[in-house]
Amino acid sequence: MSKKRMTRREFLKLSSLATATAAMAACAPAATQAPAPAATQAPAAVTQAPAVAKPIEIIHWSWLAASDGEVWAKMIQDFNTAHKDKGVQIKMEVIPEEQFVTKVVAATATGQAPDFGWGTAGLRAKMIKDKVIVPIDDFVTKVGLDLADFTESSVKASRYPTFDNKMFMVPMDAMSLQMEVNTDHVKEAGLDINNPPKTGEELLAWADKMTKRDGDKVVRSGIMMTGAGVQPTVTWGIVAAQMGFQRASADLKTAAVNPEAGKKAMQWVLDLFDTLKVSTRDVTDRYKAFGTGEGSMFWTGPWTLNGYVEQGLPFVTVPFPKIGDTQKTYFELGGLEMYTQKDPGRYEATLGAIKWLSDNSFLWTTKGRGAATRKSILARPDYKDAGNPWAVRGAFIEGMDFASEGEIPVLEAPNFTIYSGGNFLAKTLETVWTKEKTIDQAMEEISKRWSEDLAKG
């Protein structure tokens, strides 16, 4: 993604707009001055020329890249085409993901924030506390956004209990981690892709049959893993949750509930490398490795689909197996959030634009990424057949039923997320994968740090 600092244009003041529909209506020129009655009109009176109104330009920052970025750009283009003659347009700027939050915070501090951008539910508590992100509750009814048409889980994840349960994002897509399986490797191993592994035991049996080894060296992983970073962290998080571990209690007061289950999950991941030898620490780029056939089963998200389909990779996607007592997987809600503006009149028009993108998110949730968060879209008869084939896309839709391991909505949320390669959790777990520290030592550190984090609110 290119790095480009936004240059903000002059905006048309919107405080006089009554609704977002009005905001998106044609900006009419100022009325011609009415002439005085003939009996009193001065002969030299000159009719006032019409004023020319400027179009509304709503600034949007996005960190989406690659194939999903391309689909999102099409969404923005469609909005602009639909509103070409209605006096409103969206200008999109692409910001590198690793710089996004820093840039938004800095821009808000100087009064130059974009109107809206992409966010991940549960990770924004600090930005909310610092008044960077604006709650949308006061504008939902005004713009006609039908919250009843959203899935219950997406609305719940968009609210923050510690901030009066207000809603700070419009859900756009629901994502989970499911298992992509290389079908050529399945055939080669004499397995039946129509009967994929559903339990931990079946999973490991499949992994063993599809793994290729050169002596003690794994040259093709039955289960795609890396020696550090996101992959072992999120794998641990899902397996630990399936085994009964909770990063935080429901009331957000107690950290690392049932630590023995968390430690058991750490051992399960270690065994993939050292005992079962179905994974290797030598992989660094998991996406490239799976795409080049160096792995047979890969836990990943729907953002990978377009690339692998276009590449012609032989694969299907199946639900994440039940390794512990309860089938669970990672949950991530993507949505659009509004940022603090000098002119509060901009909010209604901005949410009106976001509403249009949500109402028309069929393209985004069939060809972009994730499952639709709108019930009306999920119920459409053509939803299943649109976009990528159901064999590679279906598990990400149906698997939302057991995708429950989302973010912990507290100020220090980044320390708790399991889908990260560089946060406190990932760095602590890395010392286990490299055997610098014992499982007990790592769990003690995690419990202590998380307890301190929860105390901050």
User: How is residue 297 written in tokens?
Assistant: 């089963």
Mean pLDDT of 299-317: 94
Query: What are the φ and ψ backbone dihedral angles of 174, each rounded to 5 degrees?
Result: -110, 130
CB distance 206 to 197 below 8 Å: yes
Q: Give the pLDDT score at 242.
A: 98
Residue 338: name the closest of 68, 145, 77 by CA.
145
Q: Do domains 1-28+54-175+331-408 and 178-330+409-455 have the same CATH topology?
A: yes
Q: Which of 391, 402, 399 is nearest to 194 (CA)?
A: 391
State residue 67's pLDDT score.
81
Confidence band for 3, pLDDT divided at 50, 70 and 90: very low
* Cα-based distances in Å from 407 to 132, 156, 447: 19, 12, 17
Predicted local confidence at residue 183, as pLDDT: 98
Task: Retrieve residue 256's tokens.
Answer: 């690392």
Average pLDDT over residues 42-49: 40
pLDDT digits (tens, 9 = 90+) for 58-86: 999 999 987 889 999 999 999 999 999 99
Q: Assess whether pLDDT exceeds 70 at residue 29.
A: no
Q: Does residue 88 contact residue 28 with C-beta atoms inside 8 Å?
A: no
Tell me the pLDDT tens digit for each residue of 244-270.
999 999 999 999 999 999 999 999 999
* Residue spans per domain, the chain: 1-28+54-175+331-408, 178-330+409-455
Q: Residue 58: CB partners within 8 Å, gap ≥ 6?
A: 88, 89, 90, 91, 115, 116, 346, 349, 350, 353
pLDDT above 50 (res 298): yes
Report the distance separating Cα 232 and Cα 427, nearest Å: 11
pTM of the model as a whole: 0.84
Strands 315-318 and 178-182, bridge-based pairing = antiparallel
Please identify which residue in the block is written with the tokens 């219950």. 152
Q: Which CATH architecture is the domain 178-330+409-455 placed in? A: 3-Layer(aba) Sandwich (3.40)
pLDDT confidence bin for 11, thresholds 50/70/90 = very low
Instruction: Encode pLDDT of 86-141 as tens digits.
Output: 999 999 999 999 999 999 999 999 999 999 999 999 999 999 999 999 999 999 99
**DSSP per residue over 175-212, as a string?**
EE-EEEEEHHHHHHTT--TTS---BHHHHHHHHHHH-E
Q: Is residue 352 scored above 70 in pLDDT? A: yes
Between the CA atoms of 212, 307, 329 and 182, what dihedral angle is there, to the nearest 10 degrees?
A: -30
Dist. CA 140–CA 125, nearest whole Å: 21
Which DSSP helix (H) or strand (E) runs through 128?
Answer: helix 125-129
**3-state SS, residue 336:** strand
| CATH architecture type of domain 1-28+54-175+331-408 | 3-Layer(aba) Sandwich (3.40)
Can you tell me the distance from the alpha carbon of 316 to that of 319, in angstroms, rounded to the nearest whole number?
10
